[in-house]
Structure 1
Amino acid sequence: MTDTPTDAIAHFTARLTYETDVSDVHALLEAGTPGLVVVDSRGPQAWAQGHVPGAVHLPTAEIALRAPAEIPRDADVVTYCWGPGCNGATRAALEFARLGYRVREMLGGYEYWVREGLTFQTRTGREHRPADDLTAPRRAVSCDC
């Protein structure tokens, strides 16, 4: 192994700089964090099926065209897509970074938002499902990690 502790520190620091998780995004939204813009990068059918309340719907293919007019330049952008099996949030974050935005990717995406028992928005209103005990404790908002 050629990695040094310094390499590991740089790697994990970079990850924490550019990635966040569902629990942290939920806490930021609940706190009303100024300048936070959560972006759902999925297509229209996925958006209609459900999304994070307060998120902006901006499919990845439309970011370069629409973001400069719709997302404040000084925003703290967080992107998400379906879940850990999809790299759509990564591609969306890259598009925002190319445009000069501060951006992070929400790990777990919409799947883990719902699986952690958080409220989500559908065409018919707000809904939630019980927390999946493989992703979150049943009676707490986060795993306290």
Structure 2
Amino acid sequence: MKPNFLSLPIGASDDAADYFGRELAFEVDPVDLAQDLAAARTDGYVLVETRSAGAYAEAHLPGAICLPYREITAESTRDLDRNLVYVCYCESIYCNAATQGAYRLARLGFTVKRLSGGITTWLAHGYPVETGVAVPWTA
């Protein structure tokens, strides 16, 4: 008996490469990010906590700025460097605050990616977090 998923159309390898390449263009793997942070490779991007300021205070990725997605506007982002990539993250795969934050930033002309799995996956890997209230971000 044929597996159910094999009864559905299967894309050609060129189509698959295009599809997964587009997906990777917008996603950051937590392992890669943790390795970059550990090696102090932090140029060119900013980590963006898109949950609430309270969630940020409880735990956030090292060096992340606090920019709750509901507060992302032209005014709140006017001092952000448009030459950087903004890596948005939220709670987990069950939360869409990172998606909403990335969407709002992209609509304002920023280059964005989303951290796969959010802070839940980050913590599950045992990677470090910081605590404390947000301070205004400066370039």
The answer for unaligned runs of 5 or more in structure 1 is 125-145
The answer for unaligned runs of 5 or more in structure 2 is 1-8, 134-139
Corresponding residue for 2:114? 105
- Alignment coverage as a number of residue pairs: 123
Corresponding residue for 1:72? 81
Matches within 5 A, 1:30-109: 30=38, 31-64=40-73, 65-69=75-79, 71-109=80-118
Larger Rg: 2
User: Are the aligned partners of 2:56 and 2:132 in contact in 1 as well (CA < 8 Å)?
Assistant: no
Shift, 1:45, TM fit:
1.8
- Where is the strand percentage greater, Structure 1 or Structure 2? 1
For 1:86 and 1:113, locate their aligned partners in 2 and report how far apart those are by CA, in whole Å.
Answer: 14
**Aligned to 2:35, which of 19, 23, 27?**
27
Q: Structure 1 vs Structure 2: percent identity of aligned residues?
A: 35
For 1:29 and 1:76, locate their aligned partners in 2 and report how far apart those are by CA, in whole Å.
Answer: 15
- Residues 91-136 of structure 1: CA deviation (Å, up to 9, x unaligned): 1111111111111100111111111111111239xxxxxxxxxxxx
AA aligned to 1:119 is: P
SS of aligned partner of 1:9: helix
Shift, 1:28, TM fit:
2.5
Would you identify which runs of 4 or more consecutive aligned residues in structure 1 move more than 3 Å?
none
For 1:67 and 1:111, locate their aligned partners in 2 and report how far apart those are by CA, in whole Å.
Answer: 26
TM-score (norm. length: structure 2)? 0.81
Structure 1 residue 11 corresponds to structure 2 residue 19: yes
Shift, 1:7, TM fit:
1.8
Q: CA RMSD in A?
A: 1.6
Corresponding residue for 2:4? none
Instruction: Say which structure, 1 or 2, has more relative contact order (CA 8 Å, 6+ apart).
Output: 2
TM-score (norm. length: structure 1)? 0.78
